[in-house]
């Protein structure tokens, strides 16, 4: 059975993601210890709350460096979920300007209503894509996933934008660069289709 680290840095609905990974046939390991990250097959970076607080908590526990050395350097698949996806960016513009992990170049900006949309963006919305990506294998374009957020990730390189969602115009809802992945929506809360995406993610580590 594959072991998937769930990064524990004091924020996040880590219970839900751990349960979803178990249902998908993986063994979740909730941890912030460097030794653990040396042996896991994949890694999930969860998160709720504000960008600045979250990145501060990661750095306090030296997790930015640990993940860089043990996960990114070895090409171990890592999936950022919701705020966890936003933390992958270079810069976050939530309550001031914050430096992110920088693993996928881009900026996290507030959603701006274009025709009276309510913020936060809460609920089920389409995830559209044209170019297939292994994370979305067997998931047809346009499926609904569950979102709850007020900010969005704008990648610098359009090639890192895997899928988009129509709200406040359109924003990027899935990012990917190398073995670094991120979803703005919550796969662990998106019923069967979300579990399928998590299975696809777990499968990446079998192939890498």
Cβ distance to another protein smaller for residue 70 or 190: 190
By C-alpha distance, which of 156, 170, 169 is closest to 128?
Answer: 170
| Beta carbon of residue 189, minimum distance to another protein (angstroms, whole number) | 5
Interactions with another protein, residue window 27-56 (CB under 8 A) = 48-50, 53
Alpha helices per DSSP H over the chain: 14-23, 34-37, 51-60, 63-67, 83-86, 191-207
Determine if 144 is a binding residue for another protein (CB under 8 A).
yes
Could you tell me the sign of the dihedral formed by the alpha carbons of 22, 20, 194, 90, in that order?
negative
Q: Which is nearer to another protein, 98 or 121 (CB)?
A: 121
180 Cβ neighbours under 8 A, 6+ residues apart:
72, 78, 80, 88, 103, 104
To which residue do tokens 């991120």 refer? 182
**Contacting residue, 25, 56, 75, 120, with another protein by CB under 8 A:** 120
Q: Which of 43, 98, 152, 188 is catalytic?
A: 188
Q: Give the binding site for another protein (CB under 8 A).
A: 11-16, 19-20, 23, 48-50, 53, 83, 113, 117-126, 144, 146, 148-150, 166-167, 186, 188-192, 194-195
């Amino acid at each position: 059975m594959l072991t998937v680290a769930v990064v524990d840095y004091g924020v996040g609905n880590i219970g839900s993601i751990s349960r979803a990974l178990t249902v998908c046939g993986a063994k979740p390991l909730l941890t912030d210890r460097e030794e653990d990250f040396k042996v896991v097959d994949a890694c999930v970076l969860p998160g709720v709350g504000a960008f600045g607080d979250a990145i501060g908590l990661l750095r306090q526990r030296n997790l930015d460096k640990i993940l860089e050395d043990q996960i990114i350097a070895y090409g171990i698949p890592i999936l950022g979920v919701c705020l966890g996806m936003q933390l992958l960016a270079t810069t976050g513009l939530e309550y001031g300007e914050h430096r992110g992990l920088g693993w996928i170049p881009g900026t996290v900006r507030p959603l701006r209503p274009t025709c009276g949309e309510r913020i936060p963006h809460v609920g089920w919305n389409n995830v559209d894509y044209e170019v297939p990506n292994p994370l979305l294998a067997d998931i047809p374009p346009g499926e609904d996933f569950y979102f709850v957020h007020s900010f969005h990730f704008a990648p610098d390189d359009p090639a890192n934008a895997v899928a988009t969602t129509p709200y406040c115009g359109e924003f990027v809802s899935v990012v990917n660069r190398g073995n670094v992945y991120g979803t703005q929506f919550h796969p662990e809360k998106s019923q069967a289709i979300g579990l399928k995406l998590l299975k696809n993610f777990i499968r990446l580590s079998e192939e890498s």
